[in-house]
């Protein structure tokens, strides 16, 4: 599409900024400036009855204009707007719509007015980094909870995890694998132990075999997985099994 000459009204507006006028958007936050220019573009395209298929390019043009509005001034800003008009007209947008959007921004933000402040999000609540035992001591246990039983089960689970970690370190050393693999193999061993405490017989064999296949598919060593499974399954079961 051939570009027409820039309209006289826009030319007069740009001449003011060539002489040194500044947009109030100069130096504004990028996302906030985009939102403000998008609002002006949306009002213009609604008045002009722009087809839905052209809305995406119009908003893309608005984002690009907002970048020039907040980063350039004087002749550099005028040159950027002229190039912007030429580009988006060549890409099929209506030049009148583009000029009206620029004029709306120049009229609204080309005067010494304050840019509307961005809407501030409410501050995020800081999470309290409490261990389970400290939470119990602080009286944060659920209503009706058996605190003594929960504390005991928590202590048992912590001790069990230490036992499994000891097995993983020992088996890693026996197979000559680097310590950096500890986290992945420890996670696998904990899953085996969880199934050891939940299932038995053929159900346990099937569950562990599925775990080994899945872990091997994630590039873990099959020999290491088999050795870990045997060691963890030989651990004595705790007094309390999970429900």
Token pair in block for residue 23: 């947009």
In a domain, 174, yes or no: yes
- The CA distance from 28 to 67, in Å, is 10
Token pair in block for residue 192: 């085996």
Residues 157 and 105 in one domain: no
Residues 25 and 75 in one domain: yes
In a domain, 187, yes or no: yes
In a domain, 121, yes or no: no
Q: What range does the domain containing 70 cover?
A: 8-109
Instruction: Determine the average pLDDT of the residues in 14-34.
Output: 74
Residues 63 and 156 in one domain: no
CB of 59 closer than 8 Å to CB of 147: no
CB of 30 closer than 8 Å to CB of 43: no
Band of pLDDT at residue 243, cut at 50, 70 and 90:
very low
Please state, for a pLDDT cut of 90, what percent of the chain lies above it: 5
Token pair in block for residue 232: 């963890």
- The CA distance from 195 to 201, in Å, is 11
The counts of H helices and E strands in the chain are 10, 0
**CATH code of the domain in which 200 resides:** 1.20.58.800
Residues 15 and 79 in one domain: yes
Residue-wise pLDDT tens digits, 108-123: 877 544 445 566 667 7
CB of 156 closer than 8 Å to CB of 240: yes
> If you write DSSP's letter for every residue of 207-231 in order, what string do you get?
HHHHHHHHHHHTT--HHHHHHHHHH
Residues 25 and 81 in one domain: yes
φ/ψ of 85, rounded to 5, equals: -60, -45
Please state, for a pLDDT cut of 70, what percent of the chain lies above it: 79
**CATH code of the domain in which 47 resides:** 1.20.58
Residues 163 and 95 in one domain: no
Residue-wise pLDDT tens digits, 180-202: 888 888 899 998 888 888 888 88
Judge whether residue 21 has pLDDT over 80.
no
Give Rg (Cα) of the chain: 33
Give the three-state DSSP class for 175: coil
Distance of CA 131 to the CA centre of its chain: 27
In a domain, 117, yes or no: no
Domain count, the chain: 2
In a domain, 186, yes or no: yes
Residues 70 and 154 in one domain: no
Residues 24 and 98 in one domain: yes
Instruction: Give the pLDDT confidence score for residue 142 in this predicted structure.
Output: 59
> pTM score, two decimals?
0.44
In a domain, 127, yes or no: no
In a domain, 67, yes or no: yes
Residues 90 and 165 in one domain: no
CB of 100 closer than 8 Å to CB of 44: yes
Q: How far apart are the first and last CA of the chain?
A: 72
């Amino acid at each position: 599409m051939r570009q027409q000459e820039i309209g006289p009204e826009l030319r007069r507006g740009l001449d003011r900024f060539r002489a040194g006028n500044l947009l109030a958007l100069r130096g504004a936050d990028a996302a906030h400036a985009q939102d403000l220019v998008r609002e002006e573009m949306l009002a213009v395209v609604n008045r002009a009855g722009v087809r839905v298929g052209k809305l995406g390019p119009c908003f893309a043009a608005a984002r690009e204009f907002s970048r020039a509005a907040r980063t350039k001034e004087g002749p550099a800003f005028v040159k950027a707007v002229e190039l912007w008009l030429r580009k988006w007209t060549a890409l099929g947008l209506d030049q009148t719509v583009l000029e009206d959007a620029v004029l709306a921004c120049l009229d609204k933000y080309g005067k010494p007015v304050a840019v509307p402040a961005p809407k501030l999000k409410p501050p995020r609540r800081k999470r309290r980094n409490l261990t389970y035992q400290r939470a119990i001591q602080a009286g944060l246990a659920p209503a009706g909870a058996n605190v003594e039983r929960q504390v005991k089960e928590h202590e048992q689970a912590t001790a069990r995890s230490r036992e499994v970690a000891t097995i993983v370190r020992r088996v890693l050393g026996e197979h000559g694998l680097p310590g950096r693999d500890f986290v992945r193999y420890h996670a696998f061993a904990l899953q085996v132990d969880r199934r050891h405490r939940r299932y038995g017989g053929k159900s346990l064999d099937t569950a562990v075999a599925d775990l080994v296949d899945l872990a091997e598919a994630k590039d873990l060593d099959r020999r290491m997985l088999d050795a870990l499974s045997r060691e963890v399954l030989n651990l004595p079961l705790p007094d309390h099994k999970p429900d």
